[in-house]
A and B are shown apart, each in its own frame.
Chain A
């Protein structure tokens, strides 16, 4: 997977590049807007990470230009500006996800992976399947190894998101955003409790757990084995 990183802060860029390389990505780095734009238009990337505060240019401008040219590479926008309206601005400019600094590396990694999967295109399916777990979007039912599992509506939505990102790390903030459309972090571990309830329902009667906690990052739904 080839990622273009447009970030002018040398240290932050080095840190991010190193971290992503260790996760198996190939990283190209541009330190200025024009360089970044040039690379983005002349090379092919699977995803881009663009910082907004570039010397003399807002990273959003690069995204707008790329979208105007018909470039649909998934873009994760990094910004020190964090209000919800800034987020909306970023997404409206053509960004696919928006992360405010300072961020946890695991958060960025998880969101990048999610972007890449989204980028590969999701065919319109009515059923999601991970291992022996099956979720029917039309009938709103869930079965594991054929046995029906009774979920509350919200739990269904959480599971759907986890299944769409099976094998990937899903952070608490990603869940809050996609399932509740909340852009803040509640103090009480509300997500933890929801996940543990979901895990109870999913894994209790089976020997092989599918819903795992990834320490310091989030959760992951994986087919056993």
Chain B
């Protein structure tokens, strides 16, 4: 507010000085010019010539605002329209301001005048000036106008400022209240968005997005805790039971040996599950996005296919690779390869002998890069397809096989990290998994 007020004052002061000083300068310049002209007359025509001119000009209606006075050395008037030499002009100051009274309007108040005095050769005094009343009136009008302008501007400024700050404070309050509610535990609270699209709305929207992200991460953490309980309790209990039984058994070293080897196997399985869960949590946290680089999806898919080729053949399956259009995406080569490997693991497991597995990378009609893995196995029933991508999900039939369920949820987590869509479709027969990447 202070800055605003000061700048307004500055502008108005500038306007004032410009106009007023111009007026004053103009006035003085005119008088100077007159005097110069008269001095020339005096030089040419002497005193009589000067007197003649002054008489003529004084009588001139057009010059009724002009003031002339020529006096002898004793200040007795010789010619002009002033009745006497003004007191203020005694001593011949260069410029003098004084008041005059018009003879024809004696009841009117004295007018303001300004004049220049001149000492002529021979001691004669010459005074040339102007009635400044009009100018003064003009100046007063401007001053008034400027003062009103200042007052109105200040009033508007104050009023506007108050309105704005009230609005601002109200929006801030809304955000503060929302934050308090969240701090007190209501995590579903979101900031109000008025839809006006202004900065406060954008702030509120950004805060809401942050809150959504935090909610997702927290859900992820909860998920990990749940998974650890769900997926690890059973194998760990199995392990424990086996060891207990072996101890009770008191058999020969060979039996102990066998039990210990099985235990190591089980421990490895637990570790695998544990690692998968951690990897999912890491992928979901989005921390790895910083190290993303531009990936040639065709090359990535070909490398993965090459790794699995021999294994597929051993199982009597055909693994085909199809790369078209040079699809590319921003990502982490290792993670995406792992996702593709998970999909190939599943495809190899479920495709029947003689079945075909197809791994392709291309650019879809939408312009988005895609990786597709298909197999000719039993597929996944439509209702189950959505569930399968969720963390817990496993189809009941595959419950006994170790590590199988988490593969797809790991794929989903990696896809999410890459902002890619995962969709499961019917390959008729079999399963088609499609990873759809955002455009670069």
A interface residues (Cβ-Cβ under 8 A, vs B): 82-85, 88, 102, 104, 154, 180-190, 193-194, 197, 216
Asked whether A190 and B288 contact (CB < 8 A) given A84-B334, A183-B334, A184-B341, the answer is no
| CB of B271 closer than 8 Å to a CB of A | yes
Inter-chain pairs besides A188-B311, A189-B311, 17 sampled, C-beta below 8 Å: A83-B287, A84-B288, A84-B291, A84-B332, A84-B335, A85-B287, A85-B288, A181-B333, A182-B334, A184-B334, A186-B341, A187-B407, A188-B348, A190-B308, A193-B310, A193-B311, A194-B310
A sample of 23 cross-chain residue pairs with beta-carbon separation below 8 angstroms, ordered by A number, consists of A83-B282, A83-B287, A84-B288, A84-B334, A85-B287, A85-B291, A104-B268, A180-B303, A180-B307, A181-B334, A182-B307, A182-B341, A184-B334, A184-B337, A184-B341, A185-B272, A188-B345, A189-B311, A190-B307, A190-B311, A193-B310, A194-B307, A216-B264
Nearest residue (CB) in A for B348 is A188
Which residues on the A side are within 8 Å of B278 (C-beta)? 82
Nearest residue (CB) in B for A84 is B334
Give A83 to B288 CA distance when docked, in angstroms: 9
Rounded to whole Å, the gap between the CB of B357 and the closest CB of chain A is: 11
Evaluate contact between A188 and B344: CB separation under 8 angstroms: yes
Give A184 to B411 CA distance when docked, in angstroms: 13
Which residues on the A side are within 8 Å of B268 (C-beta)? 104
Which residues on the A side are within 8 Å of B307 (C-beta)? 180, 182, 186, 190, 194
| CB of B81 closer than 8 Å to a CB of A | no
Evaluate contact between A190 and B338: CB separation under 8 angstroms: no
Chain B binding surface SS class: helix
Evaluate contact between B345 and A186: CB separation under 8 angstroms: yes
Which residues on the A side are within 8 Å of B287 (C-beta)? 83, 85
Which residues on the A side are within 8 Å of B141 (C-beta)? none
Which residues on the A side are within 8 Å of B282 (C-beta)? 83
Tell which of A154, A181, A184 touches B338, judged by Cβ atoms closer than 8 Å.
A184
Evaluate contact between B338 and A188: CB separation under 8 angstroms: no
Nearest residue (CB) in B for A215 is B261
Provide the B268-296 mask, 1 if CB < 8 A to any CB of A, else 0. 10011001001000100001100100000
Evaluate contact between A102 and B271: CB separation under 8 angstroms: yes
Tell which of A183, A185, A188 touches B308, judged by Cβ atoms closer than 8 Å.
A188
Which residues on the A side are within 8 Å of B383 (C-beta)? none
Tell which of B271, B272, B306, B407 touches A154, judged by Cβ atoms closer than 8 Å.
B306
| CB of B325 closer than 8 Å to a CB of A | no
Which residues on the A side are within 8 Å of B407 (C-beta)? 187
| CB of B403 closer than 8 Å to a CB of A | yes
Give A82 to B277 CA distance when docked, in angstroms: 13
Which residues on the B side are within 8 Å of A83 (C-beta)? 282, 287-288
User: Which 3 pairs of residues, A with B, have the shortest CB-CB distance?
Assistant: A193-B310, A193-B311, A184-B338
Provide the B326-348 mask, 1 if CB < 8 A to any CB of A, else 0. 00000011110110011011001
Nearest residue (CB) in B for A176 is B307
Give A182 to B300 CA distance when docked, in angstroms: 11
Rounded to whole Å, the gap between the CB of B344 and the closest CB of chain A is: 7
Rounded to whole Å, the gap between the CB of A20 and the closest CB of chain B is: 19
Give A25 to B278 CA distance when docked, in angstroms: 34
Give A65 to B379 CA distance when docked, in angstroms: 55
Give A197 to B308 CA distance when docked, in angstroms: 13
| CB of B249 closer than 8 Å to a CB of A | no
Which residues on the B side are within 8 Å of A82 (C-beta)? 275, 278
Asked whether A193 and B314 contact (CB < 8 A) given A85-B291, A154-B306, the answer is yes
Which residues on the B side are within 8 Å of A182 (C-beta)? 307, 334, 337-338, 341
Which residues on the B side are within 8 Å of A188 (C-beta)? 308, 311, 344-345, 348-349
Which residues on the B side are within 8 Å of A184 (C-beta)? 334, 337-338, 341
Give A193 to B337 CA distance when docked, in angstroms: 19
Q: Which of B70-116 contact A (CB under 8 A)?
A: none
Asked whether A187 and B334 contact (CB < 8 A) given A83-B288, A193-B314, the answer is no
Asked whether A197 and B310 contact (CB < 8 A) given A84-B332, A85-B291, the answer is yes
Evaluate contact between B403 and A187: CB separation under 8 angstroms: yes
Rounded to whole Å, the gap between the CB of A93 and the closest CB of chain B is: 16
Asked whether A187 and B345 contact (CB < 8 A) given A182-B334, A182-B337, the answer is yes
Rounded to whole Å, the gap between the CB of B164 and the closest CB of chain A is: 47
Which residues on the B side are within 8 Å of A180 (C-beta)? 303, 307
Nearest residue (CB) in B for A182 is B337
Rounded to whole Å, the gap between the CB of A43 and the closest CB of chain B is: 34
Nearest residue (CB) in A for B333 is A181
Rounded to whole Å, the gap between the CB of B273 and the closest CB of chain A is: 12
Which residues on the A side are within 8 Å of B337 (C-beta)? 182, 184
Rounded to whole Å, the gap between the CB of A80 and the closest CB of chain B is: 10
Which residues on the B side are within 8 Å of A102 (C-beta)? 271
Give A188 to B346 CA distance when docked, in angstroms: 9
Nearest residue (CB) in A for B283 is A83
Give A216 to B263 CA distance when docked, in angstroms: 13
Nearest residue (CB) in B for A187 is B345
Which residues on the B side are within 8 Å of A187 (C-beta)? 342, 345, 403, 407
Give A95 to B367 CA distance when docked, in angstroms: 42
Give A193 to B309 CA distance when docked, in angstroms: 9
Give A6 to B353 CA distance when docked, in angstroms: 51
Which residues on the B side are within 8 Å of A193 (C-beta)? 310-311, 313-314
Which residues on the A side are within 8 Å of B334 (C-beta)? 84, 181-184
Give A85 to B288 CA distance when docked, in angstroms: 8
Nearest residue (CB) in B for A154 is B306
Give A216 to B310 CA distance when docked, in angstroms: 22
Give A190 to B305 CA distance when docked, in angstroms: 11
Rounded to whole Å, the gap between the CB of B286 and the closest CB of chain A is: 12
Give A42 to B425 CA distance when docked, in angstroms: 63
Nearest residue (CB) in A for B339 is A184
Give A8 to B268 CA distance when docked, in angstroms: 24
Give A197 to B344 CA distance when docked, in angstroms: 20
Rounded to whole Å, the gap between the CB of B351 and the closest CB of chain A is: 12
Rounded to whole Å, the gap between the CB of B253 and the closest CB of chain A is: 18
Which residues on the B side are within 8 Å of A194 (C-beta)? 307, 310
